[in-house]
């Protein structure tokens, strides 16, 4: 029988309190959960945007109306190590002037449509810096010119910089149902996996393995073993949940089972540990709507419909962030349990965990993402890798891909 309801909203934990939304916690000055007390920044500025870029950075650092500044919001000092002004045709050459001691490079670059494709500096800069193990944040000229005083933009830009520099702005206040979550995605030639702890501070790491098969993660077992082994847990795993972006092939299920057996053999996982393997499908066509006073609106976040004992449709985005229907209703995701240790799982709890993991995305303080970060982050790394952005190993615990 089809049933449904609304899952409980996650409570976000900051250093000095809790809030229901990221922006609420930041505006209440609850301070980030954990992170650096100083961020060392180098500025790379195209000559045509010099004055606007400098004004935006001034606003970012010290604040404007509606935004108090990065130092106040994130409780950290900003140290500008270097400011490089470059001609628009020499962005890549200027990278040689960047030091390796900075936490992040803030690059002000032309908009994508301003230059021919072969001269667009975005990917070349990302590619070069990531191979050197340096994190970067890009800002377009149009943002510098038209949005330099916009508090919405400045909050999100500050959040990106702080998170990429190693900060953890917020975490979940409650522990999730699994001790460890592993998410993976595939792209031509690679498998990318992430591992996340199910309780605060929700430690994170990612890893990449090369593969010959374009669609099936044929060596996902090796990747899981490697991730768990390098995660340095203090005790064997007592519960594990594996997420994949899209359909999980039967061969992958066999490989994941093989990895679990090996983890138990190496005493990295308890022999009676519970585990679940779950598909998370983002291209789910049917939508969910709610009707209020004869008007159709987006559903409340957390709205779910349980299709059967294996599958649930969940709205991880929606009201109150996206109340009005502008073009189309928000897209839900569908999750399906494809394998399990005991098959006595609580599907509502599994659905809740996936919904809550979507609230840990640090790209925006105002809106959450559709996908849980387990597979969203794996998907983003796959996209960058396909663009030949291949980060150095020192970035495996950093969110350089936001």
Q: What's the pLDDT score for residue 214?
A: 61
What pTM does this model have?
A: 0.92
Average pLDDT for residues 348-356, to the nearest whole number?
A: 96
Planar angle of CA 343, 198, 336, nearest 5 degrees: 35
Whole-angstrom Cα distance, residue 141 to residue 45? 10
Q: What is the pLDDT of residue 117?
A: 61
Among 319, 322, 317, residue whose Cα is nearest residue 355: 317
Mean pLDDT of 167-188: 94
Tokens linked to 354: 């996936």
Give the Cα separation of 356 and 349 in Å (integer).
Answer: 10
Report how far residue 184's alpha carbon sits from residue 337's, in angstroms, rounded to the nearest whole number. Answer: 15
Confidence category of residue 215, pLDDT binned at 50, 70, 90:
low
User: What are the tens digits of pLDDT across the range 97-134?
Assistant: 887 788 999 999 988 766 666 677 888 888 888 888 89
**In the predicted model, is pLDDT for residue 43 greater than 70?**
yes
> How high is the pLDDT of residue 115?
64
Mean pLDDT over the full length of the chain: 90
pLDDT at 65 over 80: yes
**In this structure, which long-range contacts are made by residues 2-7, counting pairs with CB atoms below 8 Å and at least 24 apart in sequence?**
2/305, 2/306, 2/307, 2/308, 3/305, 3/306, 4/303, 4/304, 4/305, 4/306, 5/303, 5/304, 6/300, 6/302, 6/303, 6/304, 7/302, 7/303, 7/304, 7/314, 7/348, 7/351, 7/352, 7/355
In order of their start, the domains of the chain are 35-164 (3.40.50.2300), 171-395 (3.30.420.10)
**What average pLDDT does this structure show over 263-275?**
96
Looking at residues 137-166, what average pLDDT do you find? 95
SS3 393: helix
Q: Minimal CA–CA distance to 128: which of 94, 169, 175, 85?
A: 94
Instruction: Say if CB 298 and CB 325 are below 8 A apart.
Output: yes
Least confident of 70-84, 169-183, 191-205, 280-294: 280-294
Residue 289 clears pLDDT 90, i.e. is over it: no
């Amino acid at each position: 029988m089809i049933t449904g309801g609304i899952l409980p909203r996650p409570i976000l934990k900051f250093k000095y309190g809790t809030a229901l939304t990221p922006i609420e916690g930041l505006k209440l000055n609850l301070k980030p959960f954990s992170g650096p007390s100083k961020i060392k920044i180098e500025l790379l500025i195209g000559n045509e945007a010099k004055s606007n870029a400098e004004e935006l950075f001034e606003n970012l650092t010290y604040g404007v109306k509606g935004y108090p500044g990065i130092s106040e919001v994130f409780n950290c000092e900003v140290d500008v190590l270097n400011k490089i002004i470059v001609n628009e045709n020499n962005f890549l050459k200027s990278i040689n002037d960047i030091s390796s001691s900075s936490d992040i490079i803030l690059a002000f670059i032309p908009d994508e449509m301003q230059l021919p494709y072969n001269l667009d500096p975005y990917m070349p800069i990302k590619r070069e810096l990531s191979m050197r193990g340096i994190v970067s944040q890009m800002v377009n000229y149009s943002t510098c010119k038209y949005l330099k005083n916009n508090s919405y933009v400045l909050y999100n830009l500050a959040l990106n910089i702080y998170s990429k520099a190693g900060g953890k702005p917020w975490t979940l206040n409650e522990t999730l149902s699994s001790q460890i979550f592993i998410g993976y995605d595939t792209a031509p030639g690679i498998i990318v996996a992430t591992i996340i702890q199910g309780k605060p501070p929700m430690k994170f790491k990612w890893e990449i393995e090369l593969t010959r098969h374009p669609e099936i993660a044929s060596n996902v077992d090796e990747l899981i073993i490697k991730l768990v082994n390098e995660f340095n847990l203090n005790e064997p795993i007592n519960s594990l949940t594996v997420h994949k972006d899209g359909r999980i092939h039967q061969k992958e299920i066999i490989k994941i089972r093989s990895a679990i057996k090996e983890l138990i053999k190496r005493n990295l996982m308890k022999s009676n540990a519970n585990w679940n393997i779950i598909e998370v499908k983002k291209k789910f066509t049917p939508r969910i709507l709610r009707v209020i006073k004869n008007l159709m609106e987006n559903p409340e976040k957390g709205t779910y419909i349980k299709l059967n004992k294996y599958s649930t449709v969940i709205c991880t985005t929606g009201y109150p962030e996206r109340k009005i229907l502008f073009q189309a209703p928000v897209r839900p995701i569908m999750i399906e349990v494809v394998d399990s240790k005991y098959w006595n799982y609580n599907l509502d709890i599994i659905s809740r965990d996936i919904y809550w993991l979507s609230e840990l995305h640090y790209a925006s303080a105002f809106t959450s993402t559709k996908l849980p970060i387990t597979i969203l982050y794996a998907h983003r790394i796959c996209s960058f890798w396909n663009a030949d952005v291949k980060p150095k190993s020192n970035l495996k615990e950093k969110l350089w891909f936001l």
